[in-house]
Structure 1
């Protein structure tokens, strides 16, 4: 669920400042209200079994009612509630989210160096603050993962440093192939760093083997001899579309079945019509990821 169409960063792979932002397709900033979230989730749970709701954005911690949204999900009996964040938010929020029912946090950690972080995020903020937030979430007992989108010419030389830091702190890291979505469609091939290249880079320092991976996981996991766990999400070169069991919802409450299709569906008020709409959304799923003009800023990553 993308709970707002706004982010405090302008990452080069999502919302570079010199590229159009689909503002005609979305309101400039739109927040998913607690009432709309509750209505849509109750509609969905009356027809399908939801294993998990994952809150994204934009940057979800900018939502003023974030804790209430988590509480609403908990009251509806959603057992697994996750959130993805850039880590720059107010003190005390992690504890509040945990108390409200949050079970997992994913953090975007695309660089281990100050210069690399600023280049990728277009923000002059201390990388140390993000690292501290990740460790803080772990101390509160949340299931924590970090995500790194790898771009050639930006951060491929930091893969080993990122793996070492996350591994030494007992936190799984997932390396993502740069997805052909949103404003960098034309430049995609210039920045693309494949799953095979990621594995080859890691092999320069670490021996690793396959690690148990859930059948519906978007990542393929491995573990090094040192016990460092890492996953690779390879939408382009090793697609996993055939096993996809996800639905997405944007901040307007619209349903999407596939990241490669920007067709959206509104859940009807008539309960008898909901299964048909859900089937329509599922029918948009592709057998292979092809990308979309729709930015992850609006549909959630």
Structure 2
């Protein structure tokens, strides 16, 4: 895809710079944040989100806004944020969560306008879940939340970041549970981001190895995948749908249509570039800034020191 055909269509927003977990691949407790951009918790206000999106909408057609964090369900004004997006005629509103939040939140989010939930489920076992999340919480609670969201009619996907030495042995169990419940699971290569950037190879488990692991039990074939999808999808002979997001070994950068925003309302054009931009108040200058953000996009994913929780993953 030629650079001039690229366009921003999906906005991923990190609505706060804090998470209730300390996952090995994002914010390990024994590793300092190499950038330390957000030493204090910061929340994106509904008013700031509305003003930034209103400034962007005359210049780009936003098909979807995806709320992330940190852990977005910790945001004290989450429902008003979703309501603002609905009022701004955003038809697809998604959120990614670790699943540990109060009862009753999912129905409230759906009523406010949420259309999709992605859940991070990196381990099927209690011990594996605790090792990866650094939290002694019952993994059954997360699985309950996933099924709750599906039963309430939301489009639900499960994300699993595969780390060598942690959860590669659970790929088949995770696929089996997701498939039996009619939920699409996506297996992610560990990305070279944040505190473990320099130790990436120690934990890396490639897309080829993920497919080999799945192939040891299931026959599968390619499944139709949208051109702007981050995942490549497959379906097993018994109907289990899974995707693989392989930033490193099978990069999809040339089709990337994502713009990212942090909790201060600053935008980023590429995960592999820490450069951020303030959205101008003057309408005529917005396109100039969007062009600068687009120019930061790379043709191959290289990662950066910036933690994923700061720029919406």
Alignment of 1:68 with 2:83, yes or no, is no
Give the TM-score, by structure 2 length. 0.95
User: Which residues in structure 2 correspond to 1:36-55 (within 5 Å)?
Assistant: 36-55=48-67
Shift of 1:46: 1.6
Query: Which of 141, 157, 165 is the equivalent residue of 1:145?
Result: 157
Q: Could you tell me which residue of structure 1 aligns to residue 245 of structure 2?
A: 233
Equivalent pair of 2:35/2:306 in contact (CA under 8 Å):
no
Q: Secondary structure at the match of 2:127?
A: helix
Alignment partner of 1:31 out of 40, 43, 51: 43
Q: Which residue of 2 aligns with 1:12?
A: 24
The one of 168, 189, 204 aligned to 1:156: 168
* Residue pair 2:163, 2:190 contacting (<8 A) in 1 also: yes
> By how many angstroms is 1:23 displaced?
6.4
Q: Which runs of 5+ in 1 are unaligned?
A: none
For residues 244-255 of structure 1, what are the structure 2 equivalents within 5 Å? Answer: 244-255=256-267
* Aligned with residue 260 of structure 1, among 252, 272, 276: 272
Does structure 1 residue 94 correspond to structure 2 residue 75? no
Provide the secondary structure at the position in 2 that maps to 1:266: coil
> Aligned to 2:108, what secondary structure does the other structure show?
helix
Alpha-carbon offset, residue 187 of structure 1: 1.2
* Counterpart-to-counterpart distance in 2, 1:163 and 1:257: 32
| DSSP 3-state at the match of 2:177 | helix
In 1, Cα distance between the equivalents of 2:240 and 2:194? 32
- 1:207-257: CA deviations, max 9, x gaps? 000001111000000000010000000000000000001100000100000
User: How is 1:95-174 mapped onto 2 (pairs within 5 angstroms)?
Assistant: 95-174=107-186
Tell whether the 8 Å contact from 2:35 to 2:305 is kept in structure 1 after alignment: no
| Alignment gaps of 5+ in structure 2 | 1-12
Deviations 1:26-47 (A, max 9, x none): 2420000010000001111121
Structure with greater contact order relative to length (CA < 8 Å, sep ≥ 6): 2
3-state secondary structure, aligned to 2:14:
coil
More deviation, 38-47/285-294: 38-47
Q: TM-score, with normalisation over the residues of structure 1?
A: 0.99
